Amino acid sequence: MMTNLVSSTSVLTIGHVCVVAVFMIGLLCFFVRPSAFRQIAGLKLLLQSVSLGLVLTGWERHDLRLVQSMIVSTLLVEAIVIGLALTMIIRMNRHQQLAESEDMGPPGEDRDDSGA
């Protein structure tokens, strides 16, 4: 016979607090950090908190089959969103580096147009 050491209401309360905490940390990382990669990490935390909330809800309602299908869908959407965001960041960085290298001109040329 297995004894319940922790009540389910306290586990649910701790779970809800964790979901909100992870979501808030994700929001802070997404909106406060200037680096694009850190914003992606914040977005990842936001999406993971949604997954954690779904698992917690399924455990609370004793319907894990529905939650499993929802989690699979959520993970697929999350992977696509993160992949697209990383692709956009890489393309923007390459474009910025290309623009900076074109502004410099060929090596050995002086860009001073003073007419000397």
Q: Supply the pLDDT for residue 116.
A: 52
Gap between the Cα atoms of 9 and 68, Å rounded: 22
Q: Supply the pLDDT for residue 106.
A: 62
Which positions ≥6 away from 7 have C-beta within 8 Å?
none
* Domain layout of the chain by residue ranges: 9-102
How many other C-beta atoms are found inside a 10 Å radius of the C-beta of residue 115? 4
Tokens at 60, concatenated: 């609370």
Q: Supply the pLDDT for residue 4.
A: 61
Q: Supply the pLDDT for residue 64.
A: 84
Q: Supply the pLDDT for residue 1.
A: 46
Q: Supply the pLDDT for residue 20.
A: 94
CATH architecture of 9-102: Orthogonal Bundle (1.10)
Its pTM stands at 0.67
Per-residue pLDDT of the chain (116 residues; tens, 9 = 90+): 455 655 677 888 898 899 999 999 999 988 887 888 888 888 899 989 999 998 888 888 888 888 888 899 989 998 998 899 889 888 888 888 887 777 666 666 655 555 55
